[in-house]
Amino acid sequence: MAFKRISFSDIDLKKLDDVIDVRSPSEYEVDHIPGAINLPVLFDKEREMVGTIYKQNSKFEAKKLGAALISKNISNFLKENIREKHRDWLPLIYCWRGGQRSYAFATILDQIGWDVGVVDGGYKSFRKHVNDFLDKNIENYFLILITGNTGTAKTKLLNLIEERQGQTIDLESLANHKGSVFGSQGQKQPSQKLFETLIYDKVKNLKTGEPIFVEAESNKIGNLHIPKEFWKLMKNSPQIEISATVEQRAQFLVEEYSEITTDLDLLEKQITSLSTIAGHKVVESWLRMAKNKEFIALAKQLIEKHYDPRYERGLLRKKKQVFATIEIEDISRKGLSLTVDSILKTANNRMKTL
């Protein structure tokens, strides 16, 4: 065995040409090393079939079948995915524990002549690395939360801050959810493990000595939970509050959720889901507004009777942590750009006092 077994903590992913996850597609979908491609030596049904024979029939027969399937799949990958790779190609391979699946693929690549590495301990060692980082290293970072009522364009402000090379973490983007009852829009969220991996991958590339802007959230975005220590850091972080009029916010929400207002069936479904919170009579009036396409009036009602009361009760709504309030005069891109000027200036002044 000539290929290298490498601890994940010693791996510089930027120096590699490809990271290859040889686990099954379902394992890969749950979570994987960021940037890894999936070349499964056993597909899901094949893995299930081999496992069944292993448990119920014969370990020897299972190994024979597994070897045949693995050889076939690796052969296909060599022809379809790897054939054009140059002599200096640097691949890294991993499976679940760094065992037989990665060993089989790495052996063939090594025999061909490539300088191939295998993650020692496989995906499980990577997962431990992510957990240790989120549990122990996250406290070294300095967050400033962007807080404010629904419709104050907090996510757009984060995007503009990032355009100016500011450090940001857009949790809603990583969770593939806008963080409200209207936020899912039928989109699939990543698994909890993959969500945590995406946070890890974002944070590890940020600087500890500069502020990181994060939108204030509840500890749950859609079906996903913010990692415990990250949430703890958020709860204890200073906040800049963004303020805008109800009229501005209503107009912004109608524009921001235009894909929902053009799908009345989806809009009615989302509104109906609020019945247990707002009451049936209120929801019925909202449904009438939706049917009549009175979207601005509906947005104002949702702001005043649903979103604002929930914001006031929010866990991150602590006045002692709000060190500045910035009022948006115009929610156009130009107006938001001016708001970002104020945010960055205010944050810079805050850092000078620490």
Mean pLDDT by 10 residues, the chain (354 residues): 87 96 98 98 97 94 96 97 96 94 96 96 97 96 95 95 97 87 71 98 95 94 96 95 95 87 87 88 92 94 90 70 93 93 94 81
What is residue 268's three-state secondary structure? helix
Q: Which of 6, 53, 95, 138 is catalytic?
A: 95
Amino acid 71: pLDDT: 97
Amino acid 247: pLDDT: 95
Residue 320: other Cβ atoms inside 10 A: 7
Domain 4-131 class, CATH top level: alpha beta
Residues linked to residue 211 through DSSP beta bridges, in sequence order: none
Cα separation, 224 vs 226, whole angstroms: 7
DSSP string, 203-264: HTTS-TTS-EEEE---SEETTEEPPHHHHHHHHTS-EEEEE--HHHHHHHHHHHTHHHHT-H
The answer to whether residues 97 and 81 touch, using CB atoms and an 8 Å cutoff, is no
Torsions phi, psi for 115 (to 5 deg):
-85, 90
Cα separation, 149 vs 243, whole angstroms: 7
Closest C-alpha to 245, from 288, 290, 296: 296
DSSP run (H or E) holding 326 = strand 322-327
Amino acid 258: pLDDT: 83
Tokens of 328: 């948006």
Cα separation, 296 vs 322, whole angstroms: 30
Cα separation, 67 vs 195, whole angstroms: 34
Question: Which are the contacts of 222, defined by CB distance < 8 A and separation ≥ 6?
Answer: 175, 176, 177, 179, 183, 184, 189
Cα separation, 163 vs 337, whole angstroms: 10
The answer to whether residues 328 and 243 touch, using CB atoms and an 8 Å cutoff, is yes
DSSP string, 55-114: HHT-HHHHHHHHHHHHHHHHHHHIIIIITT--TT--EEEE-SSSSHHHHHHHHHHHHHT-
Amino acid 28: pLDDT: 98
Which string of b and e fits 227-262 if b means at least 16 CB within 10 Å?
A: beebbebbeebbbbbbebeeebbbbbbbebbeebbe
Amino acid 318: pLDDT: 65
Cα separation, 156 vs 265, whole angstroms: 27
Amino acid 262: pLDDT: 84
How many helices, marked H, and strands, marked E, lie in the chain?
Answer: 17, 12
- Backbone dihedral region of 347: left (phi > 0), alpha (psi from -120 to 50 degrees) or beta? alpha
Amino acid 311: pLDDT: 83
The answer to whether residues 126 and 33 touch, using CB atoms and an 8 Å cutoff, is yes
Active site residue 95: yes
Amino acid 266: pLDDT: 86
Amino acid 136: pLDDT: 95
Query: Structure pTM?
Result: 0.91
Closest C-alpha to 100, from 63, 129, 72: 63
What are the residue ranges of CATH 3.40.50 in the chain?
Answer: 141-353
What are the residue ranges of CATH 3.40.250.10 in the chain?
Answer: 4-131
Amino acid 312: pLDDT: 81
DSSP run (H or E) holding 168 = strand 167-169
Amino acid 243: pLDDT: 96
What is residue 349's three-state secondary structure? helix
DSSP run (H or E) holding 6 = strand 4-6
CATH code for the domain defined by 141-353 = 3.40.50
The answer to whether residues 235 and 315 touch, using CB atoms and an 8 Å cutoff, is yes
Residue 338: other Cβ atoms inside 10 A: 14
